Structure 1
Amino acid sequence: MLDRVTNLRRRVTNPLSRRVRRGLKLAETARVVRDRTGKSLAAQAREIAALRKKPGMVSAFDYYAYGLYDDARYSSAQKRAFVGWTYKALQDALNDRTWQAICDDKLISYAVFEGLSLPYPEVYAVYQPSGRTFGRVPALHTPEALVDFLRTEMRYPFFGKPVRDSHGGGATSVVSIDRDRDRLTLADGTETDVEDYVTSGPVRWVGGQRRQSSLKSGYLFQSRIVQHPVVERLSGGRVSSLRMVVLLWPDGPRLFRVTWKLPVGANITDHVIGNSGNVKCYVDRDAGRVEEAVRGPGPEGTEVFALGHHGTPIEAHPDTGEPLKGVELPDWDEAVALCLRAAAAFPGIRYQSWDLVLSADGPQVLELNFGGGVLQVPGGPGLNDDEFRQFMDAVGEYPRL
Structure 2
Amino acid sequence: MTAGMSVGDIVRSARRAKQQTGRSIAGQLVDILRLRLLGHGIMPDIYYDMRLFEPGLSWRQKAEYVGSWIKPLIYRVQDPKAVALFSDKLRALAFFREHAIASPEILAATHPDIDIPGVVALRSPAELKTWLLDRAPFPLFSKPSVSYRGYGNTLITSITRDTGEILYGDGRTETIDSFAEKHGAPGKPTLIFQNVIAPHPLIAATIGQRLATARVMVLNDRPEPEIFRAGLRIPAGASMVDNFRGGASGNMLARLDIATGAVVDVLSAIGLDWRAADHHPDTGAPFAGLAMPDWQQAIDLVLRASRLVPGLKIHNWDVAFTDTGPMLIEDNPNGDLVLVQTVANRGLATPRFLELYENRRIR
1:82 maps to which of 53, 57, 65: 65
1:335 maps to which of 298, 301, 309: 298
Corresponding residue number in structure 2 for 1:164? 146
Q: How much has 1:187 moved relative to structure 2? A: 1.5
Q: For 1:215-230, list aligned pairs within 5 A.
A: 216=189, 218-230=190-202
Q: How much has 1:249 moved relative to structure 2? A: 2.3
Q: In the superposition, relative to structure 1, how do residues 219 and 39 fare at CA in structure 2: closer, same or farther (>3 Å)?
A: closer
Corresponding residue number in structure 2 for 1:148? 130
Is 2:319 the counterpart of 1:356? yes
Q: How much has 1:193 moved relative to structure 2? A: 3.6
Corresponding residue number in structure 1 for 2:177? 195
Distance 1:327 1:97 in 2: 38
Corresponding residue number in structure 2 for 1:284? 257
Greater Cα shift, 78-87 or 118-127: 78-87
Q: In the superposition, relative to structure 1, how do residues 398 and 379 fare at CA in structure 2: closer, same or farther (>3 Å)?
A: closer
- The one-letter amino acid of 2:176's match is V
Distance 1:77 1:315 in 2: 31
Is 2:219 the counterpart of 1:251? no
Q: How much has 1:242 moved relative to structure 2? A: 1.0
Is 2:210 the counterpart of 1:238? yes
Distance 2:79 2:16 in 1: 44
Is 2:1 the counterpart of 1:37? no
TM-score normalised by L of structure 2: 0.88
CA contact (8 A) 1:260 1:282 kept: yes
Corresponding residue number in structure 2 for 1:385? 350
Distance 1:342 1:88 in 2: 23
**What runs of 5+ residues in structure 1 fail to find an aligned partner?**
1-14, 209-215, 298-305
TM-score normalised by L of structure 1: 0.80
CA contact (8 A) 2:234 2:251 kept: yes
Is 2:94 the counterpart of 1:111? yes
Corresponding residue number in structure 1 for 2:50? 66
Q: How much has 1:240 moved relative to structure 2? A: 1.6
**What runs of 5+ residues in structure 2 fail to find an aligned partner?**
none
CA contact (8 A) 2:103 2:329 kept: yes
CA contact (8 A) 2:231 2:343 kept: no
Distance 2:86 2:293 in 1: 27
Q: How much has 1:131 moved relative to structure 2? A: 7.2
Corresponding residue number in structure 2 for 1:6? none
Corresponding residue number in structure 1 for 2:11? 27
Distance 1:19 1:220 in 2: 35
User: How many residues were matched structurally?
Assistant: 359
CA contact (8 A) 1:276 1:296 kept: no
Distance 2:360 2:314 in 1: 12
Q: How much has 1:38 moved relative to structure 2? A: 2.2
CA contact (8 A) 1:59 1:84 kept: yes
